[in-house]
Each structure stands twice: as C-alpha cells, then as structure tokens.
Amino acid sequence: MSIDKQRRVQPLCEAPGKDFVSFLDVPVDTDIDNLVADAAILGVPYGIPYAVGQGRSASAPDYIRKKSHRFMRATGNARNLDRDCREVNLSNIIIADCGNVFTDPANIHGSIAGVTEAVKKILRKNAVPIVFGGDDAIPIPVIRAYEEFGPIVVIQIDEHLDFADEINGVREGYSSPMRRVSEMPWVKQTVQIGLHGFTCAKQFATATDAGNILITENEVHDRGIDAILEQIPSGENYFITVDFDGLDPAVFPAVSHPEPGGLNYHETRDLLSGLAKKGRIAGIDFAEMVPDHDLNGLSGHTVGRLVVNMLHAMIEARQFVNHGL
C-alpha cells in the first residue's frame, strides 16, 4: 500500500496504545496541522535498517517518555541545580507531544517519508522538533525536512563517523547518516564530536575531504567544552543529532554495543547549553537507545535531564518565537 493510501485510514502521527504517556506529562497533540507549541516532541521508532526485524530501538521513544516523569518538578517553579541553581519553569513555554510517526515496519522504505513530512509540519508551525528515535538512520529523514528552513549547521555527538556511502546496498542505513546529511545543500557545516574507538580509514578521509570538523573524545576531555564550542561557527541555526554510543556508558549503558569512552553527562549538558548561547537550536534528535540494555533507568533519566537543561538554556536565550520567552 502506498503512503498516500495509508494516510486515508492512518494519521501521520499517533499516540500508540492505551498506556501511552507523554514526555513530562505535557499535552498530547497528534494533529500537527493545527499544532500550537514552542517545542514539539516526536517519536520516530524506525529508520531504514539493513534488514527487516532490526528494531531493538523501536521502543525507545515511549521508554524515554516514561522515564521523563522523574523530572516533573521542572514544569513548575524549581531551582536547577545542574545550572548554577538558577530558577527553571518549563511552563513558560508550550511543549506538546505529537506522539509517534506512523511507520509500517514491513514497509519502512515506503513510509519513512512520513518522518520528513511530520518534522516539516512542526517547523512550519515555528515549533522546535525534539525527536526521539529509533535507530541512527533517523537523522536522514529528519534533517531532510529542513530544506525550507536552512541553512543549518549539524552537530553530531557519536562514537562513529557514520560516513559510509553504502553497506550491503543500503545507502540510508546505520553507517551512512552523516554522509547523506553532508550532501544536503542546506547543511552548511557538519561538526562531529566525541569520536573514539576505531574507524574506517576511508570514511575518515572522506569526512575530512568533505570539510567536516572532527573532534575526538580525547580532545573534549583535554580541552574542555568551551574550547570545543570555539570551533563551531557562531550565530547559526544548529541541528543536533545524538547517537547515544557517543556518551560514556557509565552514564548511558543502554546502547547496542557499549564500549569504554564517550562524553560524560556534564560535557554533553554543557555542549547543548553552550549551543543555545552561541546561536539558535533549530532541532535535535536522539537515536540508538536500546531500552532492554538500560540499568536501573539510568539512560532514560539521562535523556530527560539533558532535554530539560537544553530547554532551560533555550528559554534563557529567548529562542522561542511562538509563546515562550
């Protein structure tokens, strides 16, 4: 069935299941054609995998939502101890949860265009998309939505370059997201942060030749986030894509193949907050979380605190144009 025929009986976004809970318990609004929000949560369970059935991250969007309820106090008057005890009140902006993009796991290639369509609709309402994946192929359809809203600078946090042209005939799968993103004309610059471990020499050379700014985990630890922010162009619209294996498994164990190294919580938090001061955060996606690998909810809670701190920094920088400060 074509995606157009699916739409006649299936809405673009849905709040799946009777047990669905929204991020921070904000209102659910799956009617994105009439969305009124400053920031919009969107779940994308599936990208394009190597083969059907590779969906260990498909439950991550709903898992992140459930774990976020630990931070409900941030939606009222509170002190943010993460950010120098400053006052935080997310009720100063309108946050809506748009549910998950409908994707038929048996017809991912035919329905993945719905991801781009959903993000584009959110952007047209002047809301900032906060996308929870899903596998790390999702940045491709998400960033495609910015064609009308560029140029953007893409900031990637990841252990890997993800700069292959294709693997097993798949050009929009797990190892090629940043290659496809860098080819989009509205992407002005790509900055890849937190690289560690080992990578294909060909991918490294190709990413360097493309003009990407490559920053290793060691450089982050040795020089500090302020020095890393200096390497990023100022005054730009930033789209941030976070592959969770770019974080230290000590704070984020819920990935498919945990390995030593990665950004710690404070470095990641300060990078997101620093980008809000340096320019404008135009959107963010999170990918490659495997809830079954989590430890006592630690990874889920890490995501919640990162998002709350980023939103707090964006409010302080007066980045919301609809109803927020």
Q: Which of 97, 161, 139 is nearest to 283 (CA)?
A: 139
Statement: residue 177 has pLDDT above 50 = yes
Q: How far apart, in whole angstroms, are the C-alpha atoms of residue 281 and residue 275? A: 7
Helix (H, G, I), strand (E, B) or coil at 75: helix
Provide, rounded to the nearest whole percent, the portion of the chain with pLDDT above 90. Answer: 71
Statement: residue 101 has pLDDT above 60 = yes
pLDDT at 219: 97
pLDDT at 111: 81
Q: Residues 159, 114, 152, 274: is their CA dihedral positive or negative?
A: negative
Question: What type of residue sits at position 310?
Answer: M
Statement: residue 3 has pLDDT above 90 = no
- Tens-digit pLDDT profile for residues 195-250: 999 888 999 999 999 999 999 999 999 999 999 999 999 999 999 999 999 999 99
Give helix 60-68 / helix 298-316 axis angle, nearest 10°. 70
**Residue 149 · residue 124 · CB < 8 Å:** no
pLDDT at 8: 47
Maximum mean pLDDT: which of 51-65, 148-162, 167-181: 148-162
pTM of full prediction above 0.75: yes
**Residue 96 · residue 37 · CB < 8 Å:** yes
Beta bridge partners of 155: 191, 240
pLDDT at 129: 98
Angle at 25 between CA 22 and CA 26, to 5 degrees: 85
pLDDT at 167: 84
pLDDT at 323: 60
